[in-house]
């Protein structure tokens, strides 16, 4: 499918409040064998998410440690996760330390997922994810670990006010770019 057709289909799914504000752009330069294309999402004519360029307005993480030390990322820990740490330690560890260890494990897993997801953002990945988004359900796209699938789903008109409000907890664990588009969408309802 050509870029113009894909862009037209994606824009037809935009929420009405975002219809003139959010744009999908891909400069039409020819591909060179050693360079991939550039693609970006813009909000109010400002480039927000630039694929294949690490100098975007969204915060990019360079290491797992940086994600783990980010104070804005809140890692809620369930009782099952604390119990798993207790069983694996096989010792007498204080309860508060078990919670810290469980949170550390969870943040490591989350950091690895975020880092691996943001490494592969390019125009070809955007096109692949856009095609996948158009053929899968909105629930699958919202629950996906892919940054682009989450963003496309959040911008979709099929996601209503009630569903957006129910996503507040899962959004705390998402990449900052996904959280940005979530807040943008919440501000329009």
Q: Where are the domains of the chain?
A: 3-63+114-187, 64-113
- The confidence score (pLDDT) of residue 152 equals 93
Q: Are 75 and 106 in contact (CB under 8 A)?
A: yes
Structure tokens at 84: 């798993």
CA distances 182 to 79, 90, 110, 118, Å, are 28, 41, 18, 17
Please determine, for residue 42, whether its predicted confidence score (pLDDT) is greater than 80: yes
- The confidence score (pLDDT) of residue 40 equals 79
Q: How confident is the model at residue 41 (pLDDT cuts 50, 70, 90)?
A: confident
Instruction: Confirm whether pTM is higher than 0.85.
Output: no
Report the pLDDT averaged over residues 154-169: 91
Within 13-95, strands assigned E span 22-25, 39-43, 46-51
What are the pLDDT digits (tens) for 82-135? 888 888 888 778 888 888 888 888 877 777 766 666 655 667 778 888 899 999
**Strand ordering across the sheet containing 22-25:** 22-25, 39-43, 46-51
């Amino acid at each position: 499918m050509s870029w113009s057709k894909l862009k037209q289909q994606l824009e037809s799914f935009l929420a009405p409040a975002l219809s003139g504000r959010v744009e999908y752009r891909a400069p039409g330069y020819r591909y060179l064998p050693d360079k991939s294309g550039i693609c970006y999402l813009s909000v109010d004519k400002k480039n927000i998410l630039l694929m294949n360029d690490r100098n975007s307005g969204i915060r990019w993480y360079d290491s797992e440690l940086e994600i783990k030390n980010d104070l804005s990322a809140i890692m809620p820990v369930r009782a099952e996760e604390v119990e798993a740490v207790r069983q694996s330690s096989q010792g007498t560890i204080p309860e508060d330390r078990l919670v810290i260890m469980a949170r550390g494990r969870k943040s490591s897993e989350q950091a690895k997922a975020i880092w691996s997801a943001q490494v592969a953002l390019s125009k070809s990945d955007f096109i692949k994810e856009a095609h996948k988004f158009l053929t899968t359900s909105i629930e699958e796209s919202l629950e996906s670990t892919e940054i682009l699938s989450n963003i496309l789903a959040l911008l979709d008109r099929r996601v209503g006010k009630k569903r957006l409000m129910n996503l507040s907890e899962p959004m705390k664990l998402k990449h900052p770019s996904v959280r940005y588009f979530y807040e943008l969408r919440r501000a329009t309802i």
